[in-house]
Amino acid sequence: MRMQRELHTSGFRLLRRLLPGAVLLLAAPTVEAQYFGRNKVQYENFHFQVLKTEHFDVLFYPPETEAARHAARMAERWYARLSSVFDHELSGRQPVILYASAAEFQQTNAILGTLGEGTGGVTEALRRRIVLPTGGTLADLDHVLGHELVHAFQYDITGSGRPNSLGALPAASQLPLWFIEGMAEYMSIGPVAPHTAMWMRGALADTTKDSLPSYSQLEDPRYFPYRYGHAFLAWIAGRWGDHVMGQLLRGAGRRRDVTAALQRVLNANPDTLVARWHAETRAQYDPLKSATAPPEAFSTRLIAAKGDGRYNVAPALSPDGDEMMFLSDRGLFSIDLFLADARTGKVKRQVTKTAVDPHFQSLQFIQSA
**Complete edge-to-edge strand list for the sheet that includes strand 122-123:** 49-52, 56-60, 94-99, 130-133, 122-123
How far CA 54 is from CA of 57, 59, 66, 146, 306, in Å, comes to: 9, 14, 18, 17, 52
Residue pair 314/326 in contact by the 8 Å Cβ criterion: yes
Identify the pLDDT of residue 41. 64
| pLDDT tens digits for range 81-101 | 999 999 999 999 999 999 998
- In angstroms, the CA 172 to CA 155 distance is 6
- In angstroms, the CA 197 to CA 206 distance is 14
306 contact partners, CB below 8 Å, separation of at least 6: 330
Coil, strand or helix at 270: helix
Whether the predicted pLDDT of 359 surpasses 70: yes
Whether the predicted pLDDT of 24 surpasses 80: no
| pLDDT tens digits for range 28-39 | 333 334 344 455
Residue pair 235/196 in contact by the 8 Å Cβ criterion: no
Question: Higher model confidence: residue 110 or residue 220?
Answer: 220
Residue 259 CA, distance from chain mean position: 23
Residue pair 310/329 in contact by the 8 Å Cβ criterion: yes
Question: Higher model confidence: residue 32 or residue 175?
Answer: 175
Residue pair 32/24 in contact by the 8 Å Cβ criterion: yes
How far CA 165 is from CA of 20, 22, 97, 161, 336, in Å, comes to: 11, 11, 19, 9, 44
DSSP collapsed to 3 states, 320-367: CCCEEEEEECCCCCCCEEEEEECCCCCEEEECCCCCCCCCCCCCCCCC
Q: Which of 73-87, 157-171, 291-305 has the highest mean pLDDT?
A: 73-87
**Complete edge-to-edge strand list for the sheet that includes strand 347-350:** 312-317, 323-328, 336-341, 347-350
- In angstroms, the CA 132 to CA 145 distance is 8
Residue type, 310: R
pTM of the model: 0.81
Whether the predicted pLDDT of 230 surpasses 90: yes
| pLDDT tens digits for range 236-270 | 999 999 999 999 999 999 999 999 999 999 999 99
Residue pair 244/265 in contact by the 8 Å Cβ criterion: yes
Q: Residues 122-125: contacts with CB within 8 Å, 24+ apart?
A: 122/15, 122/16, 122/148, 123/16, 123/148, 123/149, 123/151, 123/152, 123/155, 124/16, 124/18, 124/20, 125/16, 125/17, 125/18, 125/19, 125/155, 125/159, 125/169, 125/170, 125/172, 125/173
